[in-house]
Structure 1
Amino acid sequence: MRSIEMCPDHRWWIRNSPDFALQVEFMTMHASRTNARRKFQRALLAAFSRARAAAGQALKQYLPGRPRFCIRTNQRRRHDARVFEYLESRHLLAGVTVTAFNDVVNGDMTSIAALVATPGPDGISLREAIIAANETPGLDTINFSGAGSILLENGALELSDSNRTTIEGNGLVTVDAADQSIVFVVNEDATATLSGLTISGGGFQAYPVDSLTSGAGIFNAGTLQVRNSVVTRNTANDNGGGIHNSIDGDLTIVGSEISHNFATNVGGGVNNFGTVTIIDSTITSNSSGDGGGLSSGVAALPPAPGSPPGPDTEIKGDVTIIGSTVSNNSATENAGGIYNVAGVVRIDSSTIADNVAYNPNRLTFPNAGGGVFTTDELIVSNSTIRGNQGDLGGGLTVGFDGNAFVTNTTISSNIWANQSVRLSGAAGGVYVQGGGKLDLVNSTVFGNTGWTLRGGTGGLFNAGEVTLNNTVVAGSVGSFPGVEVRDLTNNGVLLGSNNLVQDGQGTLGLTGTRTGNPFLGPLADNGGPTLTHQPILESPLLNAGNNALAVDSAGQPLQTDQRGSGFVRQSGNVDIGAVELQVVDSLVVTTTEDIVALDGQVSLREAVSRAGASDVITFADELGAATINVTQGRIPLNSGFVIDGEGDITIDAGGNSRVFRVSNSASVELRGLTITGGNSGGNSGGAIWMDHSTGLTIIDSHITGNTASGGGAISQRFSTSGPGLLVINSTISDNTAT
């Protein structure tokens, strides 16, 4: 075989036999692609029969400016098939393996190739590999020879290659700065990926950029991906204990953990002045003054008194959080979890939980936003904000100039933290300051704790402008008996429709408001990526919403509830709240108890009462081979449905009553059941009594151990019009007629 092909480093190889290859340097030519290609093809085909120098000259003369094709000629016996193929331009992928886990610099670092050829006496260190990668054009990959920990002794590791440099630790490598420097610095215009690393020990002597003391673990001014890594136990004197993303920085965090970092000012875990995307990651147990987990943006500074306005100092950040958890972070000022100072923060399919903004010694102004505090644009969807603590809004605070749009979201079990008596208004769930705006759409604000000593608001306190649509605000609690805790307090502008506010207070401005118990289940895993409160079948929230109001922040109709794919917003009217009850689930029996209760469980008696013609009642897999004891009298079967036990379910009346009565001209099918213990009390039909004009089909079942005066198992009142009884592949045995 002979071929000519382009290599990753923009060079071309002519291969005329397995024994030699002629390498020709790439040169840029200014010729039209069509003409150049035609001449190039002719020249190359001729070159195969000429000397190497002639082939090289043909390449230099006719190679187009952007190489996009190669020519391959394949010989098979006497036939010569020539194939012309297009190829994209490629970069050289250079690789180096770190073999020395000490921080030495004594190899040839002029390029990766030079370092591999001439390493120092200790092998190749990570610092040497990075310096060499910075000097090597193209895509670079740095791997490690095995597991180990690298203690930095010579300052931060700086990445400056404009092509991507990937450092792959495979979860086996720790890089520790021992509190002496930043660990990694990604310079402006650099592109890098840090993967499978533990990054720790970034310390107070931080990198002299952006206030000199930001970003102890990682300082990013370029384009950086952090994948499958842990950034932990780093400390910054100013911003971004774990990671600081600068104004021009573009940071992506995927499958990673940012934990146990500290910043004295803002952003204990992550501080952002640029663009950040966080996917499938955890930000936990970080702390700072503001924004314990994450802070984004910088507010404009007002001019000094008597001074003219100066330049705009506002920095707007951009943050997107998807499928992630921000939990157990703390702030001594505002926003234990997320602080959006300026710019936009988007949160989707995520959990903001157990964060705290609290300082018991702070007496001049309360701490705001245990979970999230925004003074600019915030968009939250399909998420849960739970168990957070803060002075004003335990879960969410919308500050002055803040504008939040929240859809398909649960705000639950948040607490107003400070029990002092200095505040006249606070909320465990949501607090909207004067000048702030909030839209709550198809969301659930439930079970939040309000101000504890003089009364207060558990759910939502509004001093700004709030629009509520298809939302439930309920279940507010307090810590002291006899102290009133309201679900909703409105001291601002309140608009919206089709909501439920349990205690009915503060609803002036709303239309179509329901009151009373929403009958929600506990905060639990009801499917999807986040915990939710699911309404039970008897809930007044069902089908009580307005479809036209069920829209996202872009005005598009909501396709799913909070749980996402597989949980559609049903046809007909949507439900109020974050969760749309999937009615089909109500016909799956989940308990063996013979009860009718508003507890979220489905008994056989409840399923029968809900089923209509052609419905099928089944039993949850976790019940296994279960026995349902009938304790509330016979179960009436009044419609043409199917009860399918799949051979696992026994229904036992315990000798206290019949098991079933078929009535109302129903035609019922019982499949895969054992029916026993029926006793008609001196009447006919020990297990099953059939009214006239009814029908019963029994398939793959056993009816045994029942007693009656006539028809120990089954009896039907005389009828000439009903479909009657049909028994298929079943046994009727050991029943008694007295």
Structure 2
Amino acid sequence: MKIAAPAALLVLVAAMSAAAPAARSASDIVVTTVSDATNGDTSSVAALLANPGPDGVSLRESITATNNDPGTHTIRFPPSLKGATITFDSQPPPLLGGGVTIEGDIDGDGKPDVTLSKGAGFAATLGTYCPVSDGCGLSIGSSGNRLHALTIAGFGAGVDIEPWHPGDDSRPAPPTNQTLSDNVVSGLVMQSVETFGVFIDSVFNKNCGLYAGYPQPCVTNDTWANTTITGNTIETGNAGDAGIAAKLSNAGDRVQNITVTDNTIQINGTDEGIGLEVIGNATGAAISGALVARNSIAGRADIGISVSAGGTRAQANTIEGVQMLNNRINLASQNSGFCCQGIVVEAGGDTNTALAPVAYPDGNQTQNVLVRGNTITGTLVSGVSVQAGLGGGSNNRVNDIQVEANTITSSTLASGVLIWTVGGGSPVPNKDETGNQIARIAVDANRIRIGTAQGTQPPGAGGIVVVGGFGSVARSGSVKDIQLVNNVIGPGPGLILLIGGANGASGDQLDGVQIVNDTVADQGGPALQITSNDKGATGNSVSGVTILNTIFWGSLAGEVTPSMIRSSIVSQAEFAGVNGNIRADPKFVDPAKGDFHLRAGSPAIGAGTSSGAPTTDFDGRARPVGHVDIGAYQFGGARPTRYAVSISIVGKGRVTSRPTGISCPSRCVGSFAAGTVLRLSATPAKHYRFAGWRRRCSGRAPCTITIKKDQVVRAIFRRR
């Protein structure tokens, strides 16, 4: 299937997903026929209602009339069309007028009552407001629209959202500085879509951009703001690319505040469930402020959720302020390569060697991403992957990523959490990928189980794998400031693996890894292994490793030294008897069934140190409770109540918290135990000033809250 331009995926507010139809207004249009004909007067809504033509009012006529008569309009269907199918003979027109609702829920139960399909002779010309040759069910090219409760079956894409107008594809240059805002796609059922379910994508033009074969990008500076995609059910065909995708490929394009929640996605193709990506040869493009929450993704996709600044040939782009919360991902390998990856957070990466002209994904940045509470299962190669490089890319940055409270279970050998700079997949063989950097990654309170079946070979099999540089062209990369806290790994291959460089890499560095209050339980193999140079790598290093209050129920291998370890349980005599380390059976409750809580009488109870220990354990219990225990679980004590702190931002700036848990440029939610004293700070963006707090906080000084209930805080930033 031919794709004319990359796609972008937008998701907005979930609160409207199951709403009953609103009361009729004077601007309601009632579709009265399943015909696709246009034989009424579509010059305005009033004209169509007065002169609908001999077969009544069609959906095509209704959309055309709203385009010719911009305003607030609702397109509805009468009870007589409940269960009906409207078959399009050609690509339906996009929503260009703005403020239009298409309501497919006739009886008020929140479910679709009308199906949109394409006829046997369906014609969709590329460039007629759909980026795929098999057409789009519906398209949005304006602001303030709402699509609700429709079934869309058999199209190339379900819903396309892009600021396209007729003729834009063939102009000498595309229009610029267009904004699509406040669009909602909710409660739709999409069946057998061949590429994308919901697709947000940059405008295609034949005279610029990588996908038209040009080295220079199209410069459009378009914006998608406040888009909500919620409560949809999406099934892709065997060639399906993604359930929901926002893919920017033009210079200066921006997606701001996109919400993708409560969608059910069945992927039968090989790409991804949800993707937020800057691709093509875009420069200066950005995705900021994304919430991806409570989605269910299953099937044969290579990746469950992808967040990527700078794929293919894109350079100097940014993704920031993304939250991936409480999603359920279950992926099964179909022997399609590097499969399957639950969640990928990256800057600079692509293995597509077929696109010309050749360039490299350099200088991209992904930062301030929260991956929390997700359940990831299947035949995995990695559960959560944080990576920089690939595709020949250099000088990419991935910073300030939190991987918290996820449950990762693979039936195959896998890397539960994988952090690495990568060399490989270059459009030109043996092109060095230099200076890629990853910094400030917190891996906290994750439950990881790795199986032993054979699947795609991971970079390293284990619970948590951290690699300074991987691949023969990985040069001078660095991974720094990694915190591994309160994680529970096992049973099965429960290794923490730290590698400076592997598979021919050189000059790469892994520095500053803190392993604190983790439980690593694999008696059948090493629990911790440190290797500076692995599999033909040279000149790489691992430094600054500190280990505290951790249970290693397995051997310590490679370059691990006793001086690295304090107040921990080890299985080898040479590491015991120094720095408070002990060699003992930790006495877990039921290790065979994966219960690694401590039994009464465990030598881990009270044997830890409070210096550097986290304030809570894996279960959220306060630490210490009269004593500090070794491992992820504190013995005894009540599990504290936790409350949500919701942050929203007006203008441009960032709100951060101490203790950590909030770092957002748009909107985010942090979870904190009752009694936590939370300090919020506001930092304005360039050319902005901080104007003050609203809701729970006031004034302009840093705000301090003692957490006793859910809180809502708003930060106001104004232009200087």
**Mapped contact 1:504–1:515 kept (Cα < 8 A):** no
The residue number in structure 1 matching 2:446 is 444
Aligned pair count? 434
Match of 2:298 in 1: 328
Task: Determine which of 200, 203, 211 is the counterpart of 2:153.
Answer: 200
1:229 corresponds in structure 2 to: 188
| Alignment check: 8 A CA contact 2:294 2:326 kept | yes
2:398 counterpart of 1:457 = no
For residues 353 and 522 of structure 1, what CA distance do their matches in structure 2 show?
A: 26
C-alpha spacing 1:201/1:409, structure 2 compared with 1 (3 Å): same
Would the aligned equivalents of 2:378 and 2:411 in 1 still touch at CA under 8 Å? yes
* Deviation of 1:99 (Å): 1.5
| Structure 1 vs Structure 2 CA RMSD | 4.5
Deviation digits for residues 495-528 of structure 1 (CA, Å, limit 9, x no counterpart): 225232525413771231411468588999xxxx
1:244 alignment partner AA: I
TM-superposed CA distance for 1:402, in Å, is 3.1
Unaligned runs of 5+ in 1: 1-91, 213-219, 302-311, 418-425, 479-484, 525-531, 551-556, 587-738
Q: Name which of 299, 308, 320 aligns with 1:340.
A: 308
CA distance in 2, matches of 1:319, 1:457: 33
Picking from 524, 548, 552, the partner of 1:512 is 548
Match of 1:414 among 404, 410, 414: 410
Match of 1:286, as an amino acid? Answer: I
Q: Within 1, Cα distance between the matches of 2:386 and 2:639? A: 36
Q: In structure 1, what is the Cα distance between the partners aligned to 2:411 and 2:89?
A: 45
Alignment of 1:274-673 (within 5 A): 274-275=255-256, 277-288=258-269, 290=271, 292-299=272-279, 301=281, 313=283, 315-318=285-288, 320-331=290-301, 335-342=303-310, 343-344=319-320, 346-356=322-332, 359-360=335-336, 362=337, 366=338, 369-375=341-347, 376-377=366-367, 379-391=369-381, 393-400=382-389, 401-403=397-399, 405-414=401-410, 427-433=415-421, 435-437=437-439, 439-449=441-451, 456-463=460-467, 464-465=479-480, 467-475=482-490, 477=492, 486-491=495-500, 492-502=510-520, 504-506=527-529, 509-516=545-552, 519=588, 535=597, 583-584=637-638
CA deviation after TM superposition for structure 1 residue 209, in Å: 8.7
Provide the C-alpha distance between the structure 1 equivalents of 2:320 and 2:190, rounded to a whole number of angstroms: 24
Kindly indicate whether the alpha-carbon contact (under 8 Å) linking 1:260 and 1:285 is maintained by their aligned counterparts in 2: yes
Alignment gaps of 5+ in structure 2: 1-24, 107-111, 123-133, 170-178, 203-221, 249-254, 311-318, 348-365, 390-396, 423-436, 468-478, 501-509, 521-525, 531-543, 554-585, 641-720
Indicate the structure (1 or 2) with the bigger Cα radius of gyration: 1
Q: Relative to total residues, which structure has the larger strand share, 1 or 2?
A: 2
Deviation at 1:541, TM superposition (A): 8.9
Partner amino acid for 2:444? N
Shift of 1:140: 1.0
Paired residue secondary structure (1:130): helix
The 1:268–1:257 alpha-carbon spacing in structure 2 relative to 1, beyond 3 Å, is: closer
CA drift at 1:413: 0.9
**Larger RCO (CA within 8 A; separation ≥ 6):** 2
Q: Distance in 2 between matches of 1:109 and 1:537?
A: 75
C-alpha separation between the residues in 2 aligned to 1:523 and 1:396? 28
Q: Shift of residue 314 of structure 1?
A: 5.7
Deviates further, 314-323 or 139-148: 314-323
**Identity across the alignment (%):** 18
1:226 Cα deviation (Å)? 0.8
> Does the CA contact (< 8 Å) of 1:444 and 1:578 recur in 2?
no
Q: What does 1:38-437 correspond to in 2, within 5 Å?
A: 94-146=27-79, 147=82, 148-170=84-106, 171-178=112-119, 180-187=134-141, 189-203=142-156, 223-236=182-195, 240-246=196-202, 248-250=223-225, 251-260=227-236, 267-273=242-248, 274-275=255-256, 277-288=258-269, 290=271, 292-299=272-279, 301=281, 313=283, 315-318=285-288, 320-331=290-301, 335-342=303-310, 343-344=319-320, 346-356=322-332, 359-360=335-336, 362=337, 366=338, 369-375=341-347, 376-377=366-367, 379-391=369-381, 393-400=382-389, 401-403=397-399, 405-414=401-410, 427-433=415-421, 435-437=437-439
* CA shift for structure 1 position 253: 0.9
Q: Secondary structure at the match of 1:109?
A: coil
Decide whether aligned partners of structure 1 residues 412 and 184 sit closer, same or farther in structure 2, where only a CA change above 3 A counts.
Answer: same
Per-residue deviation, residues 350-374 of structure 1 (Å, max 9, x unmatched): 22421256645x4xxx457344343
SS in 2 for 1:509: strand
Kept in 2: contact 1:497–1:512 (CA 8 A): yes
Q: Is the CA contact (8 Å cut-off) linking 1:298 and 1:314 kept in structure 2?
A: no
2-structure distance, mates of 1:569, 1:261:
48
Offset, 1:330: 3.4
Instruction: Look up the equivalent residue of 1:281 and give its one-letter code.
Output: D
Cα distance, 1:328–1:95 mapped onto 2, change above 3 Å: same
Q: Could you list the per-position Cα deviations for residues 608-635 of structure 1 after superposition, in whole angstroms to 9, with x for gaps in the alignment?
A: xxxxxxxxxxxxxxxxxxxxxxxxxxxx
Supply the distance in 2 between the matched residues of 1:545 and 1:410 (Cα, whole angstroms). 26
Q: Distance in 2 between matches of 1:547 and 1:164?
A: 59
CA distance in 2, matches of 1:356, 1:381: 21
